[in-house]
Amino acid sequence: MTKVRVKGIRRYYEPKSNRTYCYHRATGKRLHADFGSAAFFIELAAAQSEMVAKPAAKPGSLKLIVEHYRSSHEFLSLQSSTRSEYNRVLNYLSVLDALAMTEIVASDIVRIRDNTLKKRNRSFANKTLAVLSILFSYAVERGFADNNPVRQVKKIRRRGTEARRNRPWLKKELDEVISRAPPHLALPVMIARWTGLRESDVLTLPSTAFDGELIRWETAKRRVWVTIPVANPLKVALANRPVHACSTLCANSRGKAWTNDGFKTSLFRLIRALEAEGVIAAGLTFHGLRHTVATELRELGFDTRTIADMLGQKSETMAAHYSRDADLQEKLRPAIEKMEQAEETRTEVSRKPK
Q: What percent of the chain has pLDDT over 70?
A: 92
pLDDT in tens, 15-38: 767 777 788 877 777 888 888 788
State pLDDT tens for residues 99-145.
888 889 999 999 999 999 999 989 899 999 999 999 999 999 988 88
Instruction: Categorize the per-residue pLDDT at 7 as very low, low, confident or very high, splitting at 50, 70 and 90.
Output: confident
Question: Please, are residues 279 and 176 in contact by the beta-carbon 8 Å criterion?
Answer: yes
Q: How many residues does the chain have?
A: 354
Q: What is the pLDDT of residue 344?
A: 80
Q: Express each pLDDT in 44-56 by its tens digit.
A: 888 887 765 555 5
Backbone phi, psi, residue 214, to 5°: -130, 155
Read off the pTM. Answer: 0.68
Amino acid 340: pLDDT: 80
Return the pLDDT at 270. Answer: 96
Return the pLDDT at 352: 62
Q: What is the DSSP string of 18-78?
A: TEEEEEETTT--EE-SPTTSHHHHHHHHHHHHH--PPPPPPTTBHHHHHHHHHTSHHHHTS
